Amino acid sequence: MVAAMKSRDEARLSALRMIKAALMKQKVDSPKPVDEAAEMQVLKSLVKQRIEAAEAFRKAGRAEQAEKEEAERALIESYLPAAATEQEIDAAVAEALAETGATSLKQMGVAMKAAQARLKGKTVDGKALSDKVRSRLQ
């Protein structure tokens, strides 16, 4: 944060302050100490908020504001673990389906839980994972 202040990088400084505020809010709201998993969850929710805000700004015809949101999203993502590749997601889904023996959409929850466990430690879009599991079960 100090480096961003000294270099007068307003966009980076603003995003870092937002991250710090969100983490402090989590610390105050949570009765137990905030661990690394909780911090990652806060960062993921901030990324999701930025994606939704950028879409809303684009629909409203405010491209410059949408670009600002996208820049903040990229900065926040730089603090998250690497995203899982398509091959890793496909492999995790296949292994989860083989392990659980899921064959119908009624068993999707079990398959999703197993796939997420295999991808633990990597950043994965839940909707994309859900779509992959659903397409394999149909």
Domain extents for the chain?
Answer: 2-77, 86-137
Sign for the pseudo-dihedral over CA of 83, 85, 86, 92:
negative
Architecture (CATH level 2) of domain 2-77: Orthogonal Bundle (1.10)
**How crowded is the C-beta side of 128, counted as CA atoms within 13 Å?**
13
Angle (nearest 5°) at CA 85 between 12 and 132: 115
Architecture (CATH level 2) of domain 86-137: Orthogonal Bundle (1.10)
Band (pLDDT 50/70/90 cuts) for residue 110 is: confident
Measured distance CA(22)–CA(41) in Å, rounded: 11
The arithmetic mean of pLDDT across residues 19-40, rounded, is: 86
The arithmetic mean of pLDDT across residues 10-22, rounded, is: 83
Which token pair is 54? Answer: 């950028």
Contacts of residue 45, Cβ cutoff 8 Å, sequence gap at least 6: 22
Identify any residues that bridge with 83 across adjacent strands, giving them in sequence order. Answer: 123
Q: Which pLDDT does position 108 carry in this prediction?
A: 81
The arithmetic mean of pLDDT across residues 84-101, rounded, is: 82
The arithmetic mean of pLDDT across residues 44-72, rounded, is: 90
Cβ contact 39:23 at 8 Å: yes
Q: Which pLDDT does position 62 carry in this prediction?
A: 92
Q: Considering the entire predicted model, what is its pTM?
A: 0.67
Measured distance CA(96)–CA(52) in Å, rounded: 30
Cβ contact 47:15 at 8 Å: no
Residue 10, pLDDT above cutoff 80: no
SS3 of residue 68 by DSSP: helix
